[in-house]
DNA sequence: TAAAAAAATTGGACGCTGTCTAATATTGAG
DNA sequence: CTCAATATTAGACAGCGTCCAATTTTTTTA
C-alpha cells in the first residue's frame, strides 16, 4: 500500500539478497512503479529514456537475477518475447491477442477441479492459466 | 480410430481447403502419425530423415498454413520455441520443465470456476492451462 | 497433351530475442 | 585509500522465425 520510490526499491532488493546498484534500482522501479507486464526491450527503453545508462546485457542479467531471487516472475504467452511481472502473488492472466496486453486475474476465488493425477514421479511447479481474448468484432451495419 | 497414412493425410488436408503437396503431406504425417507435440526444427528433422527435400521456409509456411486452417494448434510454453499440436480438441497440458515434454490433459471433466467477468468489449478466444511439473527430487539419504 | 497461369518451394539474407565473453568500471570491506 | 570482489559493458554470437526474388511444381486452359 506504499508508493514505490527508488529508495524503498533499494530496500526491497536488499531483502531479496540483491545488491542495489543504480541499474538494478532503475529496472526494479520501472516494473514496480508501473505494476505492468513488460518485455525486456520495453524495460530497456524505459530505463534509458532520460539518458542512456543501462546496457542490454545488464537488463537481461538483472531480470534473470530478479527471477532467480523470486522478486518477479515471467509470463510466457507470446512466442516472440517473455513478459516480466512484478506481481508474484498467485494469479493468472487475460491476454489480449491483438494488443498484446496482459491483465491479472487474482487467483483468490478461482478453482480448477477435475484435474487428473500427476504423472508418477513428478511434482507441480506451478499452474499457468491464460485466457486469450480479442476485442469484440464490430459488426458492419 | 483409423491409422494415419500419407493417403488419408491428403484427404484431411483437402477437407481443410489445403492443397496436398508432397511437403505438406509429409509434415502433416509427421505430426498426426506420432500424435506428439513437436517444434518446427523437430518436424524438419523428421521430414528430412530419409533424404532432404523440405526447406525451413516451407516447414514454417506449412505450419502457419495449418494453424490458419485450424488443422493444428500451437502451444506456447517455452520462451525459445513454439510447439505444434495435432490435437485440436479442447485440452490442456502438463509441461515437464526439465525434459521439455508436453502431455495432454483432456478438457473433459476439468472445470474452472470463479473466473471474473471478461473485461468489456472483448470475447474469449481460448483458455490455456499449463501445469508445470518437474521430476521428483531424489532425496540424498 | 501442350502452353500458359497460378501456386508452392527454395536458399539465403535478415531481424529480433537472448546469451556469452573478455575488458572495464564500480562497489564496499578493511 | 587499497584492493578484491562484484557488476556493467560493447559487441560478437546463436537460435527461431520471416521475407524475398528466383525457380519449380501444379493446375488450368485450350
Ligand atoms: Mn529468459
Ligand atoms: Mn509462429
Ligand atoms: Zn501478472
Ligand atoms: Zn496437446
A41 vs B53, more confident: A41
Is beta strand B73-78 parallel, antiparallel or unpaired with respect to A111-113? unpaired
Ligand nearest to the CA of B72: 4
Of A97, A123, A126, the CB nearest to B136: A123
Give the model's pLDDT for residue B115. 87
Ligand nearest to the CA of A73: 3
Strand D close to B64 by CB, under 7 A: yes
Q: Containing domain of residue B20, as a range?
A: 6-82
With beta carbons under 8 A apart, name residues in chain A contacting B98. Answer: none
Strand D close to B41 by CB, under 7 A: yes
| Same domain for B72 and B100 | no
* Residue B18 CB contacts under 8 Å (≥ 6 apart), including other chains: B24, B65, B66, B69, B71
> Which residue's CA is nearest to the C1' of nucleotide C21?
A57
The answer to which of A13-27, A102-116, B80-94 has the lowest mean pLDDT is A102-116
| Same domain for B47 and B95 | no
Global pTM reads 0.92
CB A93 within 8 A of CB A38: no
Mean per-residue pLDDT of chain A: 92
**Domain total in chain B:** 2
| Same domain for B105 and B43 | no
For strand D, list residues 61-100 of chain A whose Cβ lies within 7 Å of it: 61-62, 79-80
CB A98 within 8 A of CB A134: yes
| Same domain for B77 and B18 | yes
With beta carbons under 8 A apart, name residues in chain B contacting A79. Answer: 74, 76, 82
- State how far residue B80 is from chain A, nearest Cα, in angstroms: 8
Give the model's pLDDT for residue B140. 55
Residue A85 binned pLDDT confidence (cut-offs 50, 70, 90): very high
Distance CA A121, CA A108 (A): 29
Strand D close to A23 by CB, under 7 A: yes
Give the model's pLDDT for residue B51. 80
The answer to which of A16-20, A95-99, B100-104, B137-141 has the lowest mean pLDDT is B137-141
Kindly state whether residue B129 falls inside one of the protein's structural domains. Answer: yes
Q: Is the pLDDT of residue B124 over 70?
A: yes
| Same domain for B62 and B127 | no
Residue B1 binned pLDDT confidence (cut-offs 50, 70, 90): low
Q: What is the three-class DSSP state of B141?
A: coil
Query: What is the mean pLDDT of the segment spanning B106-133?
Result: 90
| Same domain for A72 and A29 | yes
Residue B109 binned pLDDT confidence (cut-offs 50, 70, 90): confident
Residue A50 binned pLDDT confidence (cut-offs 50, 70, 90): confident
Cβ of B110 and A108 within 8 Å?
no
Residue B17 binned pLDDT confidence (cut-offs 50, 70, 90): very high
The answer to which of A20-24, A111-115, B130-134 has the lowest mean pLDDT is A111-115
The backbone torsions φ and ψ at residue A20, rounded to the nearest 5 degrees and listed phi first, read -85, 90
Q: What is the CA radius of gyration of chain A?
A: 18
CB-proximal positions of chain D, under 7 Å: 6-12, 15-20, 25-27
Rounded percentage of chain A residues whose pLDDT exceeds 70: 96
B84's enclosing H/E stretch is strand B81-85
Give the model's pLDDT for residue A65. 98
Of A108, A110, A132, the CB nearest to B112: A110
| Same domain for B93 and B73 | no
| Same domain for A127 and A101 | yes
Least Cα distance to B129 among A108, A105, A42 occurs for: A105
Amino acid at each position: 500500500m506504499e508508493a514505490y520510490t527508488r529508495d524503498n526499491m533499494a530496500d526491497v532488493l536488499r531483502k531479496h539478497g540483491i545488491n542495489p546498484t543504480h541499474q538494478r534500482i532503475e529496472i526494479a522501479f520501472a516494473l514496480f512503479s508501473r505494476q505492468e507486464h513488460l518485455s525486456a526491450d520495453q524495460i530497456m527503453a524505459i530505463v534509458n529514456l532520460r539518458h542512456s545508462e543501462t546496457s542490454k546485457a545488464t537488463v537481461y542479467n538483472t531480470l534473470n537475477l530478479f527471477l532467480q531471487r523470486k522478486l518477479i516472475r515471467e509470463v510466457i504467452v507470446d512466442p516472440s518475447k517473455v513478459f516480466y511481472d512484478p506481481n508474484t502473488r498467485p494469479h493468472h492472466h487475460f491476454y489480449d491477442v491483438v494488443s498484446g496486453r496482459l491483465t491479472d486475474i487474482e487467483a483468490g476465488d478461482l478453482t480448477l477441479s477435475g484435474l487428473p493425477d500427476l504423472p508418477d514421479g513428478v511434482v507441480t511447479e506451478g499452474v499457468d492459466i491464460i485466457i486469450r481474448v480479442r476485442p469484440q468484432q464490430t459488426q458492419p451495419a
